[in-house]
Amino acid sequence: MMTDQTHNSSVTVWHGTTILTVRKAGRVVIAGDGQVSLGPTVIKSNARKVRSIGRGDVIGGFAGATADAFTLFERLEAKLEQYPGQLTRAAVELAKDWRTDRYLRRLEAMMLVADRETTLTLTGTGDVLEPEYDVMGIGSGGSFALAAARALIDSDLDAEAVARKAMAIAADICVYTNGNLVIESLDSTK
For the annotated catalytic residues, the residue numbers are: 17
Number of H helices, E strands in the chain: 5, 12
CA–CA distance, 25 with 17 (Å, rounded to integer): 26
How far CA 10 is from CA of 4, 7, 13, 15, 16, in Å, comes to 12, 9, 10, 16, 19
Q: How far from 112 is each of 3, 7, 136, 159, 179, CA to CA, in Å? A: 34, 29, 8, 16, 19
Q: 159 near 25, Cβ under 8 Å?
A: yes
Q: Dihedral (C-alpha) 120, 126, 132, 133: value to the nearest 10 degrees?
A: -40
